[in-house]
Structure 1
C-alpha cells in the first residue's frame, strides 16, 4: 500500500507544480487554490508512504515522478522544448524510478 501512496504523492506533485505555473505567481485564485490543495495532499500521501518505504527511496521516487511528470506536462501543455537529449534523460529518470522500486 505504501507504494500506491507514493505513486499518488508523485502524481499530486505534478498537479501542484502545474497549478503553480498556471497561478502566474499566485495572481490567479483558482490555480493558486489548486496548488495549495494538491501540495497538501501530496505531502499527506508522502507521509503515509514513509510508513513502509525508507526515506531516501521515497523521496527520490517522489521527486522523480514529480520532475518527470512536470517535464512531460511542460512539453505537452506549455510548449516546452522536447529535444532528443531531454527525452532520453526523461526515459533514464523513469528507468531509475522503476529501478528503485525493483531493488526495494
Structure 2
C-alpha cells in the first residue's frame, strides 16, 4: 500500500506542476486553487508513504515522478519544445526512479 501512496503522491506533484503551467499561461485563479489542492494531496500521500518507505528512496521517487511527469505534461499541453535529447533525459529520470525501487 505504501508504494501506491507514493505513486499517488507523485501524480499529485505532477498535476500541481501542470496546474502551475495553466496559471502561468492563462492567469486563471481556479488554476491556483487546483494547484494548491494538488500539492496538498501530494504531500498528504507522501507523508503516508514515508511511514514505511525510507525517506531517501521515497523523496527521490516522488521528485522523479513529478519532474518527468511535469515535463511530459507541459510538452503535451503547452507546446514546450520537444527533442530527442529532452526525451532521452526524461527517460533517464524514469529509468533512475525504477532503479531506485529495486535497489536495496
In structure 1, distance between residues paired with 2:21 and 2:94: 23
Counterpart position of 2:49: 49
Q: Is the 8 A contact 1:20 1:26 kept in 2?
A: no
- TM-score normalised to structure 1 length: 0.93
Q: Is the 8 A contact 2:21 2:74 kept in 1?
A: no
Provide Cα deviations, 1:44-82, integer angstroms capped at 9, x if missing partner.
Answer: 000000011111111100000000000001111111111
Quick one: structure 1 residues 25 and 75, their matched pair in 2 at CA, closer, same or farther if it must change by over 3 Å? closer
Quick one: structure 1 residues 90 and 25, their matched pair in 2 at CA, closer, same or farther if it must change by over 3 Å? closer
In structure 2, distance between residues paired with 1:46 and 1:25: 28
In structure 2, distance between residues paired with 1:42 and 1:51: 15
- TM-score normalised to structure 2 length: 0.93
The alignment partner of 2:24 has SS state of: coil
Counterpart position of 1:94: 94
